[in-house]
């Protein structure tokens, strides 16, 4: 008995040692833009929207697992690999696009924080700069471990959506049924929206981030299987929360026939049905989602910059020895904040630009991912097996079509 | 100077204007002098062909090779610019990331073999690939941002690491100055004097002085011989006067005078006084009986020599290795002999960087050295490195005791 306990304890310690990258990246995919997309789509299509959850989880798990495996095996980030295999010109183009996409996403997230502050009647012109300054000081001063704990702690706030969903008293039987079979007509508009949801969860920056972050964690290949399960678990957990977000909206707004335009809208619209409490929970959830995005997406750009151009860049070193790394971080955040704080700027436009750019960019990233994951020189015997390749190809095709349809939709004014 | 970015992708033609293919890569020897050996040309059918660099007639917008070219096979020990240098991450001695290789510079002096001069790590290296370098230069001039290419020369790299796919810097001055002076001295004593001199020239003077104090006397002497009198004087000023005298004594008279001349008057007087009393202080203490042998002797030979000599020599802790002209080239602690196989040759394991004294070395310095390095007897050599005898710890101690 004691032996079993000992073995269990050792396993548990091993698992705890690898916890972080998979869960944090997956949750960051549910950033302010993601939350808004879930809300809008759920208010429009109700229970039938829930069917997207399972395929979305699989695609997320597969693509993130490949990224993290590459980082564990090679000790290199996606940026490192692209630079070393495809040289300077390709690196410059990829970095330029990543920067643009990420910048649009950062604006979206900081915009989400601004809206959330509005729900609490807090002046964004005062609180936004203060919160972001604290974030910057924390990121530069704290050690990797502390930053990781902080992110994991923030994730707890997503429980706000869990509580909201319970408060909304949904039809749980119908929720369970909807997970497997769509409960409603499948129209073009439904498909388009489902795909848009997929597109906000699977992102180009997510692929870069998991890579760099796992690399920064310096996991060794002997912990690979734990790392894989952590990534799978992260995708699973994230999508459970996505599910609750949608359920909370469906049980209140959809059943009462109220359609919304954004996340802050949802918080206001939900009040008559679920009470003041739900409004604040929604506000808190949105704020944290925006905050996680505003921390992680600029980090992704900073990581990628240091990988592509070789400068020291890691959360593990302090400001003075990683100046360029942190400089990249702050410049993006400050610029995005200034734009968001301009009067008459609506979030809606950034969401469009972000998904448009992400749509063009993501297929390219998948091509790199496929090539690297199948390169024996890079991956050795950890290279993709046929099953993993099939999943990756299928996921790429789905996401690529998703992004393409998204782009078409933007031009046709469907979304 | 030629840059790899300017070569890669260029058409390769013969002197008779026959198109051969496109230049793809350059191979070179991963040694101290990285001579460029071949260029890899991709033919129109996709095959690769390697041409010796000697066949290149000239390079402008195309690379022209002699019409009687013969393709060769690349040799095993050759490295490739594309695989071993371009785009690689450069790391410093401690494994920190520094920067990536943006371009590779090739020295192409007319009539001489091409060799890899170093790598460009600056923004200009990137711009050159985009054909934007010239366009940006005026901008540099206005902003005074980066007016010269950021360049790392070949001597800064570890050629051996390159083969393993790592571009590692030999040293990083910032990192070095964080070391304690005695650690850096230890590290420098493992390398050659040229390297020591180079590192020294990059350190700040006070720190350099600390390091020099901790170097062994041979390195001290060799360094000061290389320094200009001005530089030497500056360092002498910073070094403890007794150590300074010690160093000055190892230098040729002319050099010593030159250095003393540029010193400030006060310091100069003090050092001259110290030099005078240092006279020949240890002559009367030298023991001329010591065990010595040739560097070609084996451990077994060594034991029989010791057995023979031990009959009339009482002090046999160390064995001194002398070459044919009786110059001291190494020393061995006897205990060391027991750890080696009988067949091992002495020169394979003898200690080559030795602590020595000269006839002119003051007694106090001699004993300081013995204590510092925990050596019971120091070899005494003259300026031609010929061994005169040994100075034993007990003799020095006795002499000093009498003075008290």
Pairwise CB contact (< 8 Å): B97 & A88 = no
DSSP 8-state code for residue A168:
T
Percent of chain B scoring above 70 in pLDDT: 81
Give the per-residue pLDDT at A13. Answer: 58
Q: Is the pLDDT score of B386 beyond 70?
A: yes
Give the per-residue pLDDT at B172. Answer: 53
CB B362 within 8 A of CB B281: yes
Chain B CA closest to residue A76? B89
Give the per-residue pLDDT at A335. Answer: 92
Is the ipTM above a cut-off of 0.90? no
DSSP labels, B132-178: -HHHHHHHHHHHTS--S--EEEGGGB-HHHHHTT-EEBS--HHHHHH
- Per-residue pLDDT tens for B268-325? 887 887 776 565 567 667 777 788 898 888 899 899 888 888 777 776 789 999 988 7
Q: Is the pLDDT score of A342 beyond 60?
A: yes
- Per-residue pLDDT tens for B116-129? 877 887 777 788 88
Give residues with Cβ within 8 angstroms of B18, minimum separation 6: B67
- Per-residue pLDDT tens for B321-338? 998 878 888 999 888 888
DSSP labels, A41-83: HHHHHGGGGGGGHHHHHHHHHHHHHHHHHHHHHHS--HHHHHH
Query: Which among A83, A84, A312 has the least Cβ separation from residue B97?
Result: A312
Residues in B touching A309 (Cβ below 8 Å): 99-100
Question: CA angle, corner A131, sides to A333 and A348, nearest 5?
Answer: 55
For chain B, say whether A309 makes contact (Cβ under 8 Å): yes
* Range among A11-20, A30-39, B165-174, B290-299 rated most confident: B290-299
Q: Is the pLDDT score of A180 beyond 80?
A: yes
Chain B CA closest to residue A85? B87
CB A183 within 8 A of CB A47: yes
Q: Nearest CA to A306 among B323, B97, B236?
A: B97
* Range among A2-6, A382-386, B181-185 rated most confident: A382-386
Chain B CA closest to residue A84? B87
Give the per-residue pLDDT at A394. Answer: 84
Taking the CA of residue A236 as centre, how many other CA atoms within 13 Å lie in the half-sphere pointing to its CB?
6
Q: Determine which of B3, B87, B169 to mutate to test the interface with A (most A C-beta atoms within 10 Å).
A: B87
Residues in A touching B121 (Cβ below 8 Å): 310
Higher-pLDDT residue of B148, A8: A8
CB B287 within 8 A of CB B304: no
Query: Which among A92, A309, A321 has the least Cβ separation from residue B100?
Result: A309
Taking the CA of residue A139 as centre, how many other CA atoms within 13 Å lie in the half-sphere pointing to its CB?
28
What is the reported pTM?
0.66
- Per-residue pLDDT tens for B75-101? 877 888 888 888 877 776 555 556 788
Give the per-residue pLDDT at A130. Answer: 92
- Range in A56-60, A85-89, B136-140, B305-309 the model is least confident about: B136-140
Higher-pLDDT residue of A177, B1: A177
Query: Which among B86, B100, B129 has the least Cβ separation from residue A310?
Result: B100
- Range in A72-81, A317-326, B203-212, B221-230 the model is least confident about: A317-326
- Range in A103-112, B194-203, B352-361 the model is least confident about: B194-203
Higher-pLDDT residue of A54, B313: A54
């Amino acid at each position: 008995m004691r032996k079993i306990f000992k073995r269990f304890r050792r396993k548990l310690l091993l698992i705890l040692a690898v916890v972080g990258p998979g869960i944090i990246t997956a949750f960051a995919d549910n950033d302010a833009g993601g939350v808004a997309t879930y809300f809008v789509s759920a208010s429009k299509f109700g229970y039938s929207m829930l069917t997207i959850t399972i395929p979305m989880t699989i695609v997320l798990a597969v693509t993130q697992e490949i990224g993290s495996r590459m980082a564990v095996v090679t000790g290199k980030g996606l940026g490192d690999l692209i630079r070393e295999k495809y040289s300077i010109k390709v690196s410059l183009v990829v970095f330029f696009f990543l920067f643009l996409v990420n910048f649009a996403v950062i604006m979206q997230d900081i915009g989400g924080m601004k809206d959330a502050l509005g729900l609490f009647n807090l002046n964004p012109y005062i609180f936004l700069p203060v919160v972001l300054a604290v974030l910057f000081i924390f990121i530069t001063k704290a050690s990797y471990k502390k930053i990781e704990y902080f992110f994991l702690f923030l994730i707890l706030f997503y429980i706000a959506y869990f509580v909201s969903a319970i408060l909304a008293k949904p039809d749980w039987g119908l929720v369970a049924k909807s997970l497997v079979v769509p409960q409603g007509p499948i129209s073009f508009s439904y498909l388009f929206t489902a795909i848009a949801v997929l597109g906000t969860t699977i992102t180009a920056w997510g692929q870069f981030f998991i890579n760099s972050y796992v690399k920064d964690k310096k996991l060794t290949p002997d912990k690979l299987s734990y790392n894989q399960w952590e990534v799978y678990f992260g995708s699973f957990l994230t999508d459970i929360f996505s599910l609750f977000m949608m359920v909370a909206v469906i049980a209140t707004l959809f059943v009462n026939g109220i359609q919304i335009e954004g996340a802050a809208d949802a918080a206001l619209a939900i009040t008559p049905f679920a009470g003041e409490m739900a409004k604040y929970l929604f506000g808190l959830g949105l704020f944290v989602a925006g905050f996680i995005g505003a921390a992680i997406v600029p980090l992704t750009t900073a990581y990628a910059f240091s990988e592509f151009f070789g400068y020291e860049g890691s959360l593990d070193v302090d400001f003075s020895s990683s100046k360029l790394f942190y400089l990249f971080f702050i410049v993006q955040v400050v610029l995005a904040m200034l734009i968001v704080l301009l009067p008459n700027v609506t979030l809606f436009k950034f969401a469009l630009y972000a998904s448009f750019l992400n749509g063009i960019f993501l297929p390219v990233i998948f091509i790199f991912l496929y090539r690297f994951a199948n390169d024996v020189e890079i991956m050795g015997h950890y290279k993709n097996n046929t099953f993993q390749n099939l999943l990756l190809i299928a996921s790429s095709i789905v996401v690529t079509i998703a992004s393409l349809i998204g782009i078409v939709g933007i031009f046709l004014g469907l979304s | 100077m030629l840059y790899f970015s300017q070569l890669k992708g260029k058409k390769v033609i013969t002197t008779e204007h026959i198109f051969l293919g496109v230049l793809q890569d350059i191979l070179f020897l991963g040694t101290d002098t990285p001579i460029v050996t071949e260029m890899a040309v991709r033919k129109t059918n996709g095959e690769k062909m390697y041409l010796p660099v000697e066949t290149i007639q000239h390079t402008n917008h195309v690379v022209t090779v002699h019409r009687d070219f013969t393709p060769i096979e690349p040799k095993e020990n050759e490295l490739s610019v594309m695989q071993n240098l371009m785009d690689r991450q450069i790391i410093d001695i401690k494994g920190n990331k520094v920067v990536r290789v943006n371009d590779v510079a090739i020295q192409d002096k007319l009539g001489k073999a091409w060799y890899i001069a170093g790598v460009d790590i600056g923004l200009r290296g990137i711009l050159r690939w985009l054909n934007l370098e010239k366009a940006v230069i005026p901008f540099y001039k206005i902003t005074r941002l980066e007016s010269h290419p950021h360049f790392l020369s070949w001597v800064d790299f570890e050629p051996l690491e390159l083969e393993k796919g790592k571009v590692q810097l030999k040293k990083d001055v910032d990192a070095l100055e964080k070391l304690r002076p005695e650690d850096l001295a230890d590290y420098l004593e493992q390398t050659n004097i040229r390297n020591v001199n180079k590192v020294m020239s990059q350190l700040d003077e006070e720190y350099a002085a600390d390091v020099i104090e901790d170097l062994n006397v041979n390195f001290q002497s060799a360094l000061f011989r290389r320094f200009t009198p001005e530089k030497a004087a500056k360092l002498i000023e910073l070094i403890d006067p007794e150590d300074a005298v010690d160093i000055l004594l190892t230098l040729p008279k002319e050099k010593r005078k030159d250095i003393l001349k540029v010193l400030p008057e006060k310091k100069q007087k003090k050092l001259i006084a110290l030099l005078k009393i240092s006279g020949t202080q240890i002559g009367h203490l030298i023991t001329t009986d010591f065990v010595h042998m040739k560097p070609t002797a084996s451990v077994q030979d060594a034991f029989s020599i010791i057995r023979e000599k031990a009959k009339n020599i009482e002090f046999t802790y160390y064995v001194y290795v002398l070459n044919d002209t009786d110059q001291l080239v190494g020393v061995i602690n006897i205990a060391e002999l027991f750890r080696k196989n009988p067949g091992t040759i002495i020169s394979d394991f003898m200690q080559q960087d030795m602590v020595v004294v000269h006839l002119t070395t003051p007694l106090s310095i001699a004993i300081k050295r013995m204590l510092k390095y925990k050596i019971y007897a120091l070899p005494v050599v003259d300026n031609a490195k010929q061994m005169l005898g040994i100075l034993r710890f007990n003799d020095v101690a006795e002499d000093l005791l009498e003075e008290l």
